Amino acid sequence: MSVRKRSLLKVIVLGDSGVGKTSLMNQYVHKKFNQQYKATIGADFVTKEIQIEDRLVTLQIWDTAGQERFQSLGVAFYRGADCCVLVYDVNVLKSFDTLDNWHDEFLKQANVSDPQTFPFILLGNKVDIDGGNSRVVSQKKAKEWCASRGNIPYFETSAKEDINVDTAFICVAKTALANEHEQDIYFQNIPDVATETQLRGAPTSGGVAPAISLTDSALNHLNKMRSERNEDLCLRIGVKQGGCSGMSYTMEFESAANARPDDSFIEYNGFVIVSDPKSLLFLFGMQLDFSDALIGGGFSFKNPNATQTCGCGKSFAAEM
C-alpha cells in the first residue's frame, strides 16, 4: 500500500451573509472586486495554485451562502476540509457575535478528528469603509476572541482595496499544510494515471462508509458492462441542471486519465467511482441499485439528500 501526500487543500470560508466572503475570494484568485452585492446561492468554489517553499499547492476555496443553515449544505460540503476561514465585517457587530456559532457548528458538522488543533483563520473584513471611522469591532476585541479559541491567526482585510488578502490566504495555506501530517490519506487500488490531487475519495475501511455505495446487483451489472468494453474504466457519477424535478443524475464510463484535478475517487469493492466536488455535495451517502425487472428496471438512486424525486427516478430536487 502506497502513501500519497495531498497537494490539494480544501478550504471552507464561513460567515454571515454580506461580510464579503465572495469578494475576498475573487480578489485573491482573480484580482477583481465587484461593487454590486449578489448573494451566494448554496455553495461554490474557486481554485488557485501557489508555491509554498518547495511545494506546489492547489487551494480549493469553498464559498457559502451565509444565510443558509449549516445542516442544509450537507456533510459532503465539510468533510475533508483542511482549514476553515471565518469572516466578519468590522462595521457590523452582529457578524462578529455570530462567530461562535460558525466556529462550533463547523466542528460539529465537519466531525474533525481533533477539534482543539483543527486550523482556523479569522478575517475582519471591510476595514476600508469610511476610513475606519464606522467600525464597531476593535482589533483588540477580535484578538481576544482569537486567543480564547486557541490563538487563531487574525488578519484585518479589505477585498475592495486588496488589503492583506494575499497575506491572509498564504497563511491559510501554510496553516493547513502544517496540519497535513495528521490528515494523510491511504489509497489502495487507485489507477497510477491519477495525480495526487485527484485522490480524495472516501475511505472504505475502518468502519467509515464510502461517499457513494453500490448494491451487489449494481456492482455485478456495472462489472459486466465494463468487461464488455475490454477497457480498464471507472464510472463517473454526477449531477446536472435539468429534469422534471430540477436536477438529473448522470453516469458514464471513462478512463481515469480523463479525471479532473479536483475529482474524488471512491473505491468500492474493487470498482472505482469518480465524482466532481459540486456533484458530491448532492450525492454524498447515495446508494446506486440495479434491477433487471421488465417494468421499472434499470439503475435507481437512493439519495438521502433528495427532497423530491421524479417518478422516472432519474431527476430529483434538493435544498442547498
Q: Is residue 221 domain-shared with residue 145, that is, in the same domain?
A: no
Grid cell listed for 313:
427516478
Contact 247, 184 (CB under 8 A): no
CA distances from 123 to 26, 32, 90 (A): 15, 18, 9
CA distances from 34 to 9, 52, 91, 164, 198 (A): 26, 29, 19, 18, 32
Lowest mean pLDDT of 18-22, 128-132, 191-195, 252-256, name the range.
Answer: 191-195
3-class secondary-structure state, position 48: strand
Q: Considering the chain, what is the average pLDDT of its residues?
A: 79
pLDDT digits 0-9 by tens, 197-230: 333 333 333 334 567 889 999 999 999 998 888 7
Say which CATH number the domain at 247 has. 2.60.300.12
pLDDT in tens, 295-306: 777 898 988 878
pLDDT classification of 194: cutoffs 50, 70, 90:
very low
C-alpha cell at 109: 458538522
Model confidence, pTM:
0.64
The average pLDDT across 152-170 equals 95
Residues 199 and 174 in one domain: no
Q: How far apart are CA 23 and CA 131, in angstroms?
A: 19
Number of domains in the chain: 2
The domain boundary residue, chosen from 145, 164, 182: 182
Q: Is the pLDDT of residue 137 over 90?
A: yes
pLDDT value at 195 more than 90? no
Residue whose C-alpha is closest to residue 152's, from 57, 85, 52: 85
Residue % of the chain over a pLDDT of 70? 76
The model's pLDDT over 43-66, given as tens digits with 9 standing for 90+, comes to 567 888 888 887 888 888 888 765
Domain check: are 58 and 178 in the same one?
Answer: yes
Decide which of 182, 200, 228 is a domain's last residue: 182
- The DSSP bridge pattern shows strands 120-125 and 83-89 to be parallel
Does residue 130 share a domain with residue 214?
A: no
Q: Answer yes or no: do 148 and 201 share one domain.
A: no
CA-CA distance, 255 to 231, in Å (whole number)?
Answer: 8
At 52 the three-state DSSP class reads strand
pLDDT tens per residue, range 83-107: 999 999 999 999 999 999 999 989 9
Same structural domain, 60 and 107: yes
pLDDT beyond 60 at 74: no
Confidence at 32, pLDDT banded by 50, 70, 90: confident
- Give the H or E element holding residue 21: helix 21-30
Q: What is the helix (H) or strand (E) element at residue 28, kind and residue range?
A: helix 21-30
Phi, psi (degrees; rounded to nearest 5) at 302: -100, 95
Check whether residue 176 and residue 226 sit in a common domain: no
Q: Residue 20 is part of a domain; what is its CATH number?
A: 3.40.50.300
Residues spanned by the domain of 27: 2-182
Q: Which residues pair with 49 in a beta bridge?
A: 58
- Are 159 and 265 part of one and the same domain? no
pLDDT of 168 > 60? The answer is: yes
The answer to whether residue 135 scores a pLDDT higher than 90 is: yes
Output the pLDDT for position 319. Answer: 54
Question: Which residue would you say has higher pLDDT here, 133 or 315?
Answer: 133
249-292 pLDDT, tens digit each: 999 999 878 887 777 778 877 788 888 877 877 787 889 999 98
**Predicted pLDDT of residue 246:** 76
DSSP output for 55-106? EEEEEEEEEE-TTS-HHHH-HHHHTT-SEEEEEEETT-HHHHHTHHHHHHHH
Contacts of 173 (CB under 8 A, 6+ apart): 9, 50, 52, 57, 59
CA-derived radius of gyration, the chain: 21
Q: CA 157 to CA 139: how far, in whole Å?
A: 12
Same domain, 110 and 230: no
Indicate if the alpha-carbon torsion angle 184, 190, 192, 193 is positive or negative: negative
